[in-house]
Chain A
Amino acid sequence: MNVVDVLLWIVFPYIAVASFVIGHLLRYRYDKFGWTSRSSQIYESKLLRWGSPMFHYGILGVFAGHVVGLLVPREWMEFFGVSEHLYHLGATWIGTVVAFVTIAGLVILLSRRGAIRRVARVTSVMDVVMYLFLAGSLVLGTIAVVQFQVLGAGYDYRGSVSPWIRSLIFFQPDAALMAGVPLMFQLHVLCSTTLFLIWPYTRLVHVLSVPIGYLFRPYVVYRSRDAHRGARAVRRGWEPSDRPVPKRPKQKQPVRPGH
């Protein structure tokens, strides 16, 4: 285990997590107004109606797959009767299909973003950076799965990558676990870690505002004007001048001469 390993597999992930958490807090505190999904559906709907659900449902599947594969230890899985072989089959085949749906969705979305001028014009630099790492993570991950699991003999990431992630979670980081992992998996991990690092500064913040509460609230929302006042601090330079507290003793009424 050398310095580079420690930096890549311990320092960098923790920095990314810190950035993810603190970034979101700061953004929520100071830029609620900028916290939106930045939907471009108003410009173009036909392509979006294919691409967006494909990508989003796909990525939700990808997320679920990663939770199962990375966070649930093999022993637990076996306890529930999921054998190594069964897991491998499921993860590989379902994973590959989901990955391709997701990538296809993303390809539709990205080509729409490039080809439709209205949409291209509102694409920010941060969007491009984010797409780079998002697409990078997806593609690298898919290549790794196809290379090792589909075409190759199969690589047991549940013996290396998964324990490494759990070691990070339990604050007993073990960089050695990642040192011997095939390059493709390593690149995939690094790329996605970077994505988490920049997450709060991109449009991806919308992921954290999944409106689950909508299922449980009454339809019509009422708010009182009073309750809403002073919801936000006054912007710099716009603070109202407060009335100065008079320090001098109470003035007597001036008395006219001639009394």
Chain B
Amino acid sequence: MRVMAQMSMVMNLDKCIGCHTCSVTCKQVWTNRDGMEYAWFNNVETRPGLGYPRQYEDQERWKGGWVRNKRGRLKLKAGGRLKKLATIFANPTMPTIDDYYEPWTYDYDMLTNAPQTKNGPVARPKSLLTGKDMDITWSGNWDDNLGGSQETAHQDPILAHMSEHVKMEFENTFMFYLPRICEHCLNPSCVSACPSGAMYKREEDGIVLVDQDDCRGWRMCVPACPYKKVYFNHKTNKAEKCTLCYPLIEQGKPTICSETCVGRLRYLGLMLYDADRVLEAAAVENEHELLDAQRSVMLDPFDPAVIAQAKKDGIADDWIAAAQKSPIYKLISEYKVALPLHPEYRTMPMVWYIPPLSPVVDVISNSGNDGEDARTLFAAIDKLRIPVEYLAGLFTAGDTVPIEHSLKKLAAMRSYMRDINLGNEANENIARAVGMSGAEMEAMYRLLAIAKYEDRYVIPKAHVESARDLDEFACSLDTDGGPGMGGARSTGDVLATARIPGTPIDSTVESFASLKNLTDPSEPSTPGRLNLLNWNGGGISNGMFPPTAEAGGSA
């Protein structure tokens, strides 16, 4: 057993309202640059739908992820190492920008500068690639809310795999949103496909990153990721991807997408896993067993043996404590309501999803029945094959049983809590029907429905004493044109500001927060005195007044 820690995310799909706030804030932070206009580290797609990039789930075409060969070993679907090098001059499965969409802007100047004419001026779309007028025919979320999906939805790779009778009339049936970021996989095929070794998984928290100085633009990672979450910056000619906002995570703060999520549906926390068993679990023969195999790789952070080994493997005590408090552990391993996206790609993704019950509830309510009655809900889950099979295509390699379990738990929670809210007696039977106790049911309800910020995001800070000072940590993204080019300064700096007169004060939220907590600057600029500019107004601090007579001796 070798214990490693992984920062992971769970999203509760029932609560996603498809507002795209997460995508927009992510874009503002990471990809609002030349060369990355088309890239969305976080995107929200309507399902059923083609997704972004179009049909990314069709691995027969893109050859993403891993396959199990006859000897039971994993092999990159796009081919082994030699084949990778042989096709390096033109990658046969590299998507072109048209598979995402051609980025554009509008000729806004026209609106203010146009000479007077009979007809009002219009701002025409201009391609950001060619500078010419263009017709907009596709974008990152073209089939939003099933718009135009009579035309396109039959190309949805999941629908294509479902049986004929189920496929029909799906558009009358259901719809939900699927927000996606990089999965920060335990067995990342992107890292494995990078010929330069520029992509890596961080030992401390499992975040998958691209070293911008080492990337040589061989673009093997782009098709190798089955989720298409590595993007090729067409200006710098290097690969870039979701960073799980590691500069924030290192400070114990949630990612931008989580922080700004309107539905508050994202959870962040640590998972401990057994690194020695990852490959074995990813290579189980039956695709339907991949879910359980991956669950079995996750370790119980309360198990004394695991704790002992984790300490031996260099995981700090506060990290172990954080793993015990992790909402992710509860949702994946305790309540078992969260499921991985496309386990059949065998990359062991670590962003999991709680499948949406709303398609089922909607059908019941629309037919005039009670959408909060446990028995009605259970019966509907058994009967409504369309959403269940579709969800199975997304989350369990087509196995409907775990989907049903998960949905039934959500349904049970719904009716169990209704009784309580209406002041009726809680019905333990409902909880027992899905193998839980009433207390567990309520705990799960609290986590899913009303959890506070600090319960949703349990993120231990990076250990700066070992990393010297995060401030000096050379970020691979802070090059010219890189997302970190501003050279964001971390909390370490606040202390510097407090200590050294003349150090520029920076105005990031982090510094502000740290400054607020800085009640006792132990080393003010003049020894023995507090610099009043750094006083937060929170009571009397050392050095604020000259030493009293008692301190000096007799009065």
Q: A43 — which chain B residues lie within 8 A by C-beta?
A: 96-97, 129, 234
**Which residues of chain B come closer than 8 Å to A3, judged between CB atoms?**
none
Contact A224 to B203, CB < 8 A, known contacts A44-B96, A118-B130, A240-B472: yes
A53 at the interface (CB under 8 A from B): yes
Contact with A along B211-245 (1 / 0, CB 8 A): 11111111100000000000010111110000000
Residues in chain B near residue A206, CB distance under 8 A: 216-217
CA distance A44 to B95 in the complex (A): 9
B115 at interface (Cβ–Cβ under 8 A)? no
Residues of A within 8 A of B92 (CB): 49
CA of A228 to CA of B281 in the docked complex: distance in angstroms?
30
Distance, CA A63 to CA B78, complexed state (A): 29
Give A226-247 as 1s and 0s: 1 = Cβ < 8 Å from B's Cβ atoms: 1011111011001011011010
A191 to B364: give the CA distance in the assembly, Å: 77
Give the distance to chain B from A259, nearest Cβ to Cβ, in Å.
6
CA distance A107 to B132 in the complex (A): 26
Q: Most chain-A Cβ atoms within 10 A of its Cβ — which of B217, B468, B476, B493?
A: B217
Q: Provide the bound-state CA to CA distance between A256 and B215, in Å.
A: 64
Contact A220/B130 with A32-B214, A230-B472, A232-B213 known, Cβ cut-off 8 Å: no
How long is the Cα–Cα vector from A202 to B480 in the complex, in angstroms? 19
A213 at the interface (CB under 8 A from B): yes
Q: Say yes or no for A80: interface residue by CB 8 A criterion.
A: no
- Evaluate contact between B237 and A222: CB separation under 8 angstroms: no
Q: Is B131 an interface residue (CB 8 A)?
A: yes
Whether a CB of chain B sits under 8 angstroms from the CB of A217 is: yes
User: Which B residues touch A35, using CB under 8 A?
Assistant: 213, 216
**Which residues from B are CB-within-8-Å of A115?**
none
The answer to whether B502 has its CB under 8 Å from any CB of chain A is: yes
Q: Does A52 contact B (CB under 8 A)?
A: yes
Cα–Cα distance between A229 and B204 once the two chains are bound (Å):
13
Q: Known contacts A33-B480, A211-B85, A240-B471: does B552 contact A256 (CB below 8 Å)?
A: yes
Residue of A32, A43, A240 with most chain B CB atoms under a 10 A cut-off? A240
Interface string of A36-54 (1 = CB under 8 A from B): 1111111111001100110
A258 near B89 (CB under 8 angstroms)?
A: no
Picked from A38, A48, A231, A253, the residue with its CB within 8 Å of the CB of B474 is A231
Binds A, one of B186-194, B352-360, B509-517: B186-194
A56 within 8 A of B: yes
Interface residues on A, range: 35 or more
Q: Are A42 and B552 in contact (CB under 8 A)?
A: no
Is A81's beta carbon under 8 Å from chain B?
A: no
Interface status of A117 (Cβ within 8 A of chain B):
yes
Q: Pick the contact of B90 from A52, A122, A209, A230 — CB < 8 Å? A: A52
Given A220-B192, A224-B203; A214-B85 close (CB under 8 Å) = yes
Knowing A206-B216, A225-B462, say if A253 contacts B528 (CB, 8 Å): yes
Instruction: Decide yes or no: A222 and B554 within 8 Å by CB, A32-B213, A36-B237, A39-B219 being known contacts.
Output: no
B91 engages A221 (CB within 8 Å)? no
- Mask, B339-373, CB within 8 Å of A = 1, is 00000000000000000000000000000000000
User: Is B69 located at the chain interface by the 8 A CB criterion?
Assistant: no
- Residues of chain B touching chain A, judged by Cβ–Cβ distance below 8 Å, are 76, 81-82, 84-85, 88-92, 94-97, 129-132, 187-188, 191-192, 194-197, 199-205, 211-219, 232, 234-238, 250, 462, 466-468, 471-474, 476, 479-480, 482, 487, 493, 496, 499-500, 502-503, 527-528, 546-547, 549, 551-555
Q: 12 new A-B pairs (CB below 8 Å) besides A214-B85, A219-B192, A234-B474?
A: A33-B238, A35-B216, A41-B90, A41-B96, A215-B82, A217-B197, A221-B197, A222-B203, A240-B471, A241-B503, A251-B527, A254-B546
A-B contact pairs, 29 of them (CB 8 A): A35-B213, A36-B236, A39-B217, A41-B90, A42-B219, A45-B96, A117-B129, A118-B130, A121-B130, A206-B216, A206-B217, A214-B197, A217-B197, A219-B191, A220-B192, A220-B201, A221-B200, A223-B200, A223-B202, A223-B211, A224-B204, A225-B467, A226-B466, A226-B467, A226-B468, A228-B474, A241-B502, A251-B528, A259-B554
